Amino acid sequence: MKIDNDILEKHLDNIRALQTPSGLFLASRANVSTGYNKAWLRDNFYTCLAFEEVGDEEMVQKVWKALLSIFVKHKDKINWAIKNKPYATYQYIHARYNPETFEEFWEEWGNKQNDAIGAILFKIGDLEEKGIKIIETDEDKEILQTLVNYLGTIEYWQDADNGVWEEYEEVHASSVGACVAGLKQMQKLTYIEVPSHLVEKGEEALKELLPRESKSKFADLAQLSLIYPFNVVPENVAREIVRKVEYHLERDRGIIRYKNDRYYNKNTDGFSEEAEWCFGFPWLSIIYKNFGEEEKAHHYLQKSIATIYQDQIPELYYSDSDKPNENVPLGWSESLFIVALLRAGK
């Protein structure tokens, strides 16, 4: 498939428009009323994948050095958590920050999001392995070790967190898997100590949870992260996850996050009219490309293209409608679309 460079550049520009002077990306436009005009750890992780895919190392380094600076700023809080073990959500590493001051937002927002810490460790280790230098000082090395120790203290493998969707506290396969992936990448760095039991306990917990996402969710869009980018499940499990997502969650304009998702649900009782998330289609396209199934990868790329709204890719569409919510564009959606587009052309 020939890549349309105009489309590629347009969607890269959509993401660039979300970047703040510090390097961090807002989740969506600065003038949205939804609260998405903040910088999430997780969203920055996913949003930056597009620039890694196009080979813009300067951009990648800028974003990741800014992310690292957040943890350096809050190292006293993290060290306190390691010594005392958090017992309240505000004591956990928060998920959202002011993109300029790097200060936490203190309102309650499901702040226990262990997957975000796993994702950060995973990508920093991955970039270092690829020769894209993020870690340069002793302070940088120290904060990575601190994050590893933090995951050990909270016992991430059995810690009920708010997960990728920032909702109900449960042990989530997607959170455990992200932490396993992050710790395994950290084991490759000579200056980081990762006790083997930290990885082993996570892998054991993951085997017990899968193919479910959690006790309450048998299929969840977040589980695709276990396949891409984290690659922490064998292919037979990966295919089972994809099968369940396609069978139970796929809709016309996106993938619902899970059954009876109340977020932007059109039905006042919260059932059966779940919002359709646009980044589900490019995510599946990337995964099928990794499986070596070109036809299916192309199929989901075409479905991704059909979600474009006024040259931008939204967070989601309301069920069975052509109406997106206000978060247009969503950096995460734009980024996975760019990755899928580029990989389809290879």
The pLDDT of residue 105 is 85
Q: Are residues 108 and 183 in the same domain?
A: yes
Nearest of 112, 118, 198, 186 to residue 152 by alpha carbon: 198
- Of 176, 192, 225, the residue that ends a domain is 225
Q: Are residues 2 and 73 in the same domain?
A: no
The pLDDT of residue 24 is 98
Residue 79 and residue 197: Cα distance in Å, rounded? 21
Q: Are residues 84 and 189 in the same domain?
A: yes
Q: Are residues 85 and 198 in the same domain?
A: yes
Residue 2 banded pLDDT, cuts 50, 70, 90: low
Q: Are residues 85 and 191 in the same domain?
A: yes
Query: 């994702």: which residue's tokens?
Result: 119
Indicate whether 279 belongs to any domain.
Answer: yes
The pLDDT of residue 169 is 96
Q: How many CA atoms lie within 13 A of 283 on its CB side?
A: 28
Indicate whether 30 belongs to any domain.
Answer: no
Indicate whether 14 pLDDT > 80: yes
- Of 225, 258, 280, the residue that ends a domain is 225
The pLDDT of residue 39 is 96
Quote the number of domains for the chain. 2
Residue 6 CB neighbour total at 10 angstroms: 8
Mean pLDDT of 32-40: 93
Mean pLDDT of 39-56: 98
Q: Are residues 10 and 158 in the same domain?
A: no
Opening angle at CA 60, ends 57 and 65, nearest 5:
120
Residue 300 banded pLDDT, cuts 50, 70, 90: very high
Indicate whether 32 belongs to any domain.
Answer: no
The pLDDT of residue 106 is 76
Report the predicted TM-score, pTM, of the whole model to 2 decimal places. Answer: 0.97
Nearest of 112, 20, 35 to residue 66 by alpha carbon: 20
Indicate whether 232 belongs to any domain.
Answer: no
Q: Are residues 62 and 15 in the same domain?
A: no
Q: Are residues 208 and 282 in the same domain?
A: no
Mean pLDDT of the chain: 96
Residue 66 and residue 24: Cα distance in Å, rounded? 6
Residue 1 banded pLDDT, cuts 50, 70, 90: low
Q: Are residues 16 and 42 in the same domain?
A: no
Distances in whole angstroms, Cα of residue 56 to Cα of each of 49, 51, 209: 10, 5, 37
The pLDDT of residue 200 is 98
* pLDDT tens digits, one per residue of 138-179: 999 999 999 999 999 999 999 999 999 999 999 999 999 999
Nearest of 259, 233, 234 to residue 244 by alpha carbon: 259
Residue 94 CB neighbour total at 10 angstroms: 22
Indicate whether 242 belongs to any domain.
Answer: no
Q: Are residues 292 and 147 in the same domain?
A: no
Q: Percentage of the chain with pLDDT > 90? A: 93
Mean pLDDT of 38-58: 97
Indicate whether 193 belongs to any domain.
Answer: yes
For residue 227, give the amino acid letter: I
Structural domain span for residue 53: 38-225
- Decide if 270 contacts 220 (C-beta within 8 A): no
Give one DSSP letter per residue of 59-78, joined into a string. HHHHHHHHHHHHHHHTHHHH
* Lowest pLDDT segment from 22-36, 38-52, 95-109, 315-329: 95-109
Indicate whether 59 belongs to any domain.
Answer: yes
CA pseudo-torsion sign 134, 75, 178, 340? negative
Q: Are residues 345 and 262 in the same domain?
A: yes
Tokens for 146, please give them.
């601190």
Tokens for 167, please give them.
């909702």
Mean pLDDT of 30-49: 95
Q: Are residues 16 and 80 in the same domain?
A: no
84: exposed, middle or buried (C-beta count within 10 Å: 0-12, 13-18, 19+)? exposed
Q: Percentage of the chain with pLDDT > 70? A: 99
Note the helical H segments in the chain.
Answer: 5-16, 41-47, 49-53, 57-73, 75-84, 114-129, 138-153, 173-186, 196-209, 235-244, 280-291, 294-305, 331-344
Residue 193 CB neighbour total at 10 angstroms: 11
Residues 6+ apart with CB under 8 A from 196: none
Residues 6+ apart with CB under 8 A from 294: 288
